[in-house]
């Protein structure tokens, strides 16, 4: 059992660069990309159900979108043109599948069947797999559009046209709808742009950081932890967890910061009055963001975004994942940066130990944190 190694693989996603050969204005990595894909997949699932009356397995699709590129921690990010070359395409496909299988093998036997579907089968020929593949292209299209606006490399204009033409008449209803809404340059476009720009919101400002972090990478890790913890609670401890709600709430829990910025915790929680004021402010901003969406999406997104940490089992588990990711961040910094992060680490650890008694938290502290710490501090 090497569950800690699986979580370390999740952490390494932010070390896999994307588009770096084109020197983009906005640096991108596999963690940022996978977060965005999971967020866009959530919207696509709701569009399928609410607008087109198609029943879809929302959790399966979102989890596949979240983990579809996990194998890149082994293979690296391979250019699309290389993947499609007839001389090497089949070899790359086999290599990626074997890498995905290896990553799944790190998990406990009871967890492997569920994650095999998310990681190995992510972009297979099923409806779920085709939707994830399309969402992957949709994110590439949005990224290229952003580079067209802010960057200078003309390759992104060419790539944008290539991706747009691939998606504009796509077989899947929700993908065509997303492209149509993107073309309007308002409404849903603004909401999608907030998701895209979350990678510009730096975290842990005011501290000396050896490991750079942003809201997009953080949300990827927190959502991966939510999926892991939720599956663990269900399989190992027999808890009834709504995995779609848990995953969706984690995906959208920090999206308001695309507008407000990341406000340091000690500021937001310095006293009860200030805490309430910031809660009201963030709720108002979130509701304003949701107003840009069509009526048929608003109720669901309010539940995921405004009520992300409400008094439900899923809301509590979002809070758990948020705090566990902060603990991991402090742990990663401590080896070479102890004076800056030792107090933060032990404060986070103490808060988690005192506040949460979930089986998944105990499992994390007993096994995964030990594995991560041993890997960080061993020679």
d(CA 36, CA 251) in angstroms, rounded, equals 9
Calculate the alpha carbon distances from 18 to 22, 162, 223, 343 in Å: 9, 18, 20, 34
Angle at 180 between CA 174 and CA 183, to 5 degrees: 145
In 3D space, the residue among 242, 304, 295, 220 whose CA is nearest the CA of residue 47 turns out to be 295
Tell me 152's DSSP state: -
The neighbouring-strand residues paired with 214 are 202
DSSP 240-270: ---HHHHHHHHHHTTTTHHHH----HHHHTS
253 is written with which tokens?
């829990």
Query: Contact at 8 Å (CB) between 237 and 359?
Result: yes
pLDDT tens for the chain, 379 residues: list them: 589 999 999 999 999 999 999 999 999 999 999 999 999 999 999 999 999 999 999 999 999 999 999 999 999 988 777 877 788 888 988 999 999 999 999 999 999 999 999 999 999 999 999 999 999 999 999 999 999 999 999 999 999 999 999 999 999 999 999 999 999 999 999 999 999 999 999 999 888 998 899 999 999 999 999 999 999 999 999 999 999 999 999 999 999 999 998 877 777 777 888 888 988 999 999 999 999 999 999 999 999 999 999 999 999 999 999 999 999 999 999 888 888 899 999 999 999 999 999 999 999 999 999 888 876 555 4
pLDDT value for 379:
43
Query: Contact at 8 Å (CB) between 70 and 5?
Result: no
d(CA 200, CA 208) in angstroms, rounded, equals 18
Burial of 119 (0-12, 13-18, 19+ CB in 10 A): buried
pLDDT value for 377:
53
Query: Contact at 8 Å (CB) between 44 and 131?
Result: yes
At residue 18, what are phi and psi to the nearest 5 degrees?
-125, 145
pLDDT value for 268:
75
pLDDT value for 264:
74
Q: Which CATH architecture has domain 1-200?
A: Orthogonal Bundle (1.10)
pTM of the model: 0.96
């Amino acid at each position: 059992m090497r569950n800690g190694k699986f979580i370390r693989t999740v952490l390494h996603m932010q070390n896999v660069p994307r588009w770096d050969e084109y020197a983009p204005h906005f640096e991108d990595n596999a963690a940022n990309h996978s977060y965005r894909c999971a967020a866009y997949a959530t919207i696509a699932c709701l569009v399928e159900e609410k607008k087109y009356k198609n029943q879809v397995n929302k959790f399966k699709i979102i989890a596949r979108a979240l983990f579809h590129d996990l194998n890149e921690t082994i293979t690296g990010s391979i250019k699309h043109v290389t993947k499609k070359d007839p001389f090497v395409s089949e070899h790359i496909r086999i290599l990626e599948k074997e890498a995905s299988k290896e990553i799944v093998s790190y998990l406990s036997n009871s967890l492997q069947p569920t994650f095999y579907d998310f990681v190995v089968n992510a972009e297979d020929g099923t409806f779920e797999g085709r939707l994830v593949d399309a969402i992957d292209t949709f994110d590439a299209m949005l990224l290229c559009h952003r580079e067209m606006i802010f960057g200078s490399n003309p390759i992104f204009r060419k790539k944008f046209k290539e991706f747009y033409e691939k998606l504009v008449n796509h077989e899947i209803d929700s993908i065509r709808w997303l492209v149509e809404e993107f073309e309007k340059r308002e409404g849903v476009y603004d909401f999608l742009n907030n998701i895209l720009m979350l990678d510009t919101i730096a975290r842990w400002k005011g501290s000396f950081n050896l490991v750079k972090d942003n809201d997009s990478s953080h949300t990827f890790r927190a959502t991966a932890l939510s999926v892991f913890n939720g599956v663990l609670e269900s399989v190992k401890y027999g808890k009834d967890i709504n995995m779609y709600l848990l995953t969706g709430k984690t995906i959208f829990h920090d999206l308001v910061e695309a507008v407000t910025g990341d406000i340091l915790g000690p500021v937001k929680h310095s006293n009860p009055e200030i805490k309430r004021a910031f809660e009201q402010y963030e709720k108002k901003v979130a509701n304003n963001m949701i107003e840009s969406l069509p009526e048929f999406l608003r109720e669901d997104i309010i539940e995921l975004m405004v009520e992300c940490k409400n008094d439900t089992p899923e809301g509590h588990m979002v809070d758990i994942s948020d705090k566990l990711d902060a603990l991991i961040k402090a742990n990663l910094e401590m080896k070479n940066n102890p004076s800056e992060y030792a107090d933060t680490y032990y404060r986070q650890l103490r808060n988690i130990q005192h506040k949460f008694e979930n089986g998944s938290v105990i499992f994390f502290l007993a096994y995964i944190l030990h594995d991560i710490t041993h890997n960080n501090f061993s020679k």
